[in-house]
Amino acid sequence: MMFSDQLYLSTQENKNNASILLKELFDGFSYKIVMSIIEDSKTVFEICKENDLPISSTYKKIRKLKDLGLLFTDRIVINEKGKKVVFYKSKIQSVELILNKKQVVLNLKKNEKNLPHSILH
């Protein structure tokens, strides 16, 4: 599931999508991960160290956040030991939930800082 700029929760499908996004974003691990990589891309190890998170749980959450379209692989480098190192970055800069009698709207502001043009669309 990929997010759009604005998700109107008028249909059951959209309500389910928004529910999944909100649940995932405000999970303790996911929230820390997304907040950690809004400004700069980081490796799993950097994210774990910065947020005191277990490595295996962080890998699982990053995979889920990528599947939801909230993160992307910014770059892959080969370190001095010949190992592949992946840097992740958040596609979202902020989230706003609007509740009123007429509708429920989930606004996801794209994180346009340092994103390749192809990632934004």
Domains in the chain, number:
1
User: Which residue segment(s) compose the domain that 101 sits in?
Assistant: 6-111
Report the pLDDT value the prediction gives residue 109, as an integer from 0 to 100.
83
CB atoms within 10 A of CB 24: 18
The β-bridge partners of 110 are 92
Q: How far apart are CA 37 and CA 65, in angstroms?
A: 12
Mean pLDDT of successive 10-residue stretches along the chain, which has 121 residues: 46 66 84 93 97 95 92 95 96 82 76 59 43
In a domain, 22, yes or no: yes
* 33 alpha-carbon distance from chain centroid: 8
Question: Residue 37: what pLDDT?
Answer: 96
Query: Which tokens go with 79?
Result: 């370190």
Check residue 74 and give its pLDDT.
95
List the beta strands (DSSP E) in 34-91.
Answer: 71-78, 84-90
Q: Which residues pair with 98 in a beta bridge?
A: 105
Q: What CATH number should be reported for the domain holding residue 40?
A: 1.10.10.10
